[in-house]
Each structure stands twice: as structure tokens, then as C-alpha cells.
Amino acid sequence: MRPVKLWLAAVIAAFVIAAGVGVGVLWQTLENPDALWTVVQRCVAAKQHGHTLRAGCLSVDLKDQIAILPGLIGGRWHFLAVPTVRITGIEDPKVMDPHAPNYWALAWVAAQHYLPSRVTKDRTRIGLAVNSEVGRSQNQLHIHIACLKMGVRLELAADEDRFGPSWSAPILVYGPQMYRVMRVEGDTLDGVDPFTLLLRVPGAADEIGAHTLVVTGATWDRGVKRGFYILDDRASDTPDGPDHGHGEDLLDENCRSR
């Protein structure tokens, strides 16, 4: 997750400056794959003690075990939905726990709240992504919240007849990355868990960490039906270069496209 180090620089800088910690310590922290987890723990501690949430923390929901953090440098309209319990990433068995919160549903709600209204009025512009184990730098699960790139939106719209309630064959969506696509109906992701649906991809259960997931709002049948497209890619080598399973590449973190 390449932009995260810039994001963490801004977030952690706020903490270390307040604490009077030197710049050298800051950059050592950025090399730590647990730096994001450290930020989340501080957000949770502030919430538990009734303190005002400061830089790096937008909201903390202790009941649903989710924190929303800003992507301060990664893009103006870039946010992270991060569990407040320890979950390393997509490969962690805890994401499949039937009693765990639906972090995707919570991230979708956060997108509706934090992204600009010109975006949220069109569900097809909203994008959520979790990178693969090899495509990230931080070992705490986090769902990226931003806009979907215009080219990806157009590709999905052009191929809508190919998508249904089962995973499609891989299609070229962005660069060398080939994604399977599944379509689900509904206004929200309540009762829909992309992590669980990933298990329906042949062989995925044995290599969950190699996969990346992207979720975006969808409409079809001339806008009559509403729901979501769920996209899955697997990190691999391709003739056009390595595919790191970096679903975040499909997002526009500045929401530039109309």
C-alpha cells in the first residue's frame, strides 16, 4: 500500500509532535508494519477515556469495533475503516468469523458520511478496497474508502451483462490486473460479506492472503436495480509485469472524475 507511508507520516507526526518525540523516531515508526495499529489503539484509548478525538481519528465505534481515519496525504477524499481489534489483514482467520462485525458494511456507511455529496448521490462512484498481504505495508486490516476511477466504472458498466450472483471469469479491469466480478442486490451491504463470498472462488480458501477485494456500488437494468459489484484479484506474475493484488489502484483518492 504505497500511499500509506505518506498518510502515516501526517498522522503519526501529529502524535509525536504533541508528545515531543524527535523526527528520527517518527521515521523509524513508519518502517514499522504495526504503526497503523498503534494509531488505532490511541484513537480507542481517547474514546474510552472520553477525550476529544485528535489528529488521525475521525470516529471510533467501540460497539461495532471500527475506527474511521483520514488519509491526510494519500488523497483529499481518502479514508480508512480500521477494526479496533487486532486483525492483521485479509489472510487473518478472524475476518471469516461469523460473529465478527461486517466491516465492509460499516465502511460503506462511512463512505456515505465522509465522501462529498456529489459522489454519494451516485453509488457507482464509491469504491472500497482491501489489498493483498503482499500488496500492503501495514499489518492491521484496513478498508480504503474513496472514489472509483472513471475507467473502472466505464468498464464495469460496459460489461454489466456478464455479471451475476456467481463469480465471473477474470476480465481486464485496470492495467495488468484481471478481476473476477460478482453482482449482489441491495441498497446496503448488510448481510453481504465480501470476505465470505471470496471463499466461492476456486482455490481461494488455500491462499486468501494473495487476494485483493474491491467493492463498488452498482446499478443495472437501466438503473432499475441497485446493488454492488464485488471484484477479486489474485497477486501473480503477468506478461505485463507483477500484479501485487493492490486493489487500491482502482480507487481515485482525490475524486477527480465526474
Question: What are the pLDDT digits (tens) for 65-107?
Answer: 999 998 755 568 899 999 999 999 999 999 999 999 999 999 9
pTM of the predicted structure, to 2 decimals: 0.87
Using the 8-state DSSP alphabet, how is residue 130 labeled? E
Summarize the chain as % helix, strand, coil (round to 5). 35, 25, 40
SS (H, E, C) 34-96: CHHHHHHHHHHHHHHCCCCCCCCCCEEECCCCEEEEECCCCCCCCEEEEECCCCCCCCCHHHH
Query: What residues of the chain score a pLDDT lower than 70?
Result: 1-30, 55, 72-75, 239-241, 257-258
Domain 4-252, classified CATH 3.30.428.30, yes or no: yes
Note the pLDDT of residue 54. 75
Write the pLDDT tens digit of every residue in 166-191: 999 999 887 778 899 999 999 999 99
Note the pLDDT of residue 9. 55
Note the pLDDT of residue 222. 80
Taking each helix axis as running N to C, give the angle between helix 23-30 and helix 4-19, from 0 to 180 degrees, rounded to the nearest 10: 140
